[in-house]
Amino acid sequence: MNSFNPLENVQKILKKSCEILNLDESVYDLLKEPERTIEINIPVKMDNGKFRIFKGFRSQHCDVMGPYKGGIRFHPTVNGDEVKALSAWMSLKCSATHLPFGGGKGGIIVDVNELSDNELERLSRGYVKELYKYIGDRYDIPAPDVNTNEKIMAWMLDEYIKLTGNNTLATFTGKALGFGGSYGRKEATGVGVAVITRESLKKLGINIRESKIAIQGFGNVGSNTAKHLERMGGNIVSISEYDKEKGVYTIYNEDGFDIADLIEHFEKNNTLFDYKDVKHISIDQFYSLDVDVIIPCALENSIGEEEANKIRAKLIVEGANGPVNYYADSILKDRNIIVIPDILANSGGVIASYFEWVQNISAIDMTEDDVLNKVEYKMLFAYNEILKIQQEYDVTMRLASYIYSVLRLYKILKLRSRI
């Protein structure tokens, strides 16, 4: 992945949107950094009896619209600026999709592959032990992100309830069904990315049934995006993935993959490297594929200037957070390649999380169709509103999304005399 500070990335675009909106400098000064970032050291007793100390973070960006909301990432490259940037994106995302939440994000610097299940549980519980005073169903609501899942949410919520005595399920989202989880949550981000891809292709005059699609990352977001794009008639011809032993690898099949079979293979083997009847291509070839759309669904900073110059697709839809950096963005703009930004494209996850929270606090049940239809409705609403801004200001979809979100945040900040 390229090295580009994601916080600098979000700040540059925030600044530009505040300038376009002619807002007082204090608005940018307030939004460029989180309200608070908490850094913690988590002692974990390892299976060999020795203690290891893991560094963790929780960043709370802006709560003007409601409780902070955002995932917890377990990854060796987690760092303070990344968590801050991710929390800012969450504020913007919640604002763009009209959710009553602010932005939060957390993380631990750890390679989960090095931990046993018991060590992972102790680490997850340790994170909550250090942070339980700063989270809560009306204050800050965490969720899964890269390398965290419903099992980790169950340990975390259980620890939270033990420590606080507050027996609410609404403090974490992305939980398992039966333990406060919601139907549709797992697929929601992918459904949203697929819906926005379909609409954007339509706007470019491309019929999804004739489209060729390349996806980077086949985890939660990538695999569900592939599944729903296939359902809509799209043809997924290439997938780039990462394997601890093989590193980054890319598979290609010009006739398109059978996504259900691919998902089954990935779930069983944890890799697609040995998947049948595929051609292996280099990552450079992946970026220069003759496809209609590339959907990065791995980590931030995957598309820098070098990659931006290679891309031949007409559309990039950001399934991941921050995959296209600031400089790449301007190259893509000059090359007339449309980028649908993360704060719009991957907001299906937090929208479904919102409905999970609604079900938890109000003790009502929603079906999968209820949740996914609401996700689609809210995303299409935001997409159409942002398109209007894009036309009004004659800017990229990224700037339009930021302008739309910042304007909504600004109005509430003003109303509450916070600025």
Interface with ligand NAD by CB under 6 A: which range of 62-70, 230-238, 292-300, 360-368? 292-300
From 106, 217, 304, 341, residue interacting with ligand NAD (rule: CB under 6 A) = 217
Provide the token pair at 37.
Answer: 């970032």
Closest CB 23 distance from ligand NAD, rounded Å: 27
CA dihedral 41, 44, 49, 50 (to 10 degrees): -20
Q: What angle do CA 301, 302, 303 make, to 5 degrees?
A: 95
Closest CB 24 distance from ligand NAD, rounded Å: 31
Provide the token pair at 267.
Answer: 């779930």
How far is Cα 187 from Cα 193, in angstroms, rounded to an integer?
10
Q: Does 346 bind ligand NAD (CB under 6 A)?
A: yes
Closest CB 406 distance from ligand NAD, rounded Å: 20
String marking each residue 305-334 x if it binds ligand NAD according to CB under 6 A: --------------xxx-------------
From 7, 99, 299, 379, residue interacting with ligand NAD (rule: CB under 6 A) = 299
Picking from 408, 418, 381, the residue whose alpha carbon sits closest to that of residue 91 is 408
CB 236 within 8 A of CB 297: no
Can you name the residues that pair with 281 across neighbouring β-strands? Answer: 250
Q: Does 56 bind ligand NAD (CB under 6 A)?
A: no
Q: Does 225 bind ligand NAD (CB under 6 A)?
A: no
Can you name the residues that pair with 242 across neighbouring β-strands? Answer: 248
> Which C-beta is closer to ligand NAD: that of 18 or that of 352?
352
Q: Does 340 bind ligand NAD (CB under 6 A)?
A: no
CB 195 within 8 A of CB 344: no
Q: Which of 84, 93, 105, 378 is an active site residue?
A: 105
From 106, 184, 219, 304, residue interacting with ligand NAD (rule: CB under 6 A) = 219
CA dihedral 143, 82, 407, 192 (to 10 degrees): -50
Three-state SS string over 351-402 comes to HHHHHHHHHHHHCCCCCHHHHHHHHHHHHHHHHHHHHHHHHHHCCCHHHHHH
How far is Cα 322 from Cα 296, in angstroms, rounded to an integer?
9
Footprint (CB under 6 A) of ligand NAD, residues 108-147: 145-147
Closest CB 47 distance from ligand NAD, rounded Å: 24
Closest CB 87 distance from ligand NAD, rounded Å: 12
From 134, 139, 242, 273, residue interacting with ligand NAD (rule: CB under 6 A) = 242
Active site residue 105: yes
Applying CB under 6 A, which residues contact ligand NAD?
1, 145-147, 189, 216-222, 240-242, 248, 297-299, 319-321, 346, 349
User: Which positions are catalytic?
Assistant: 105
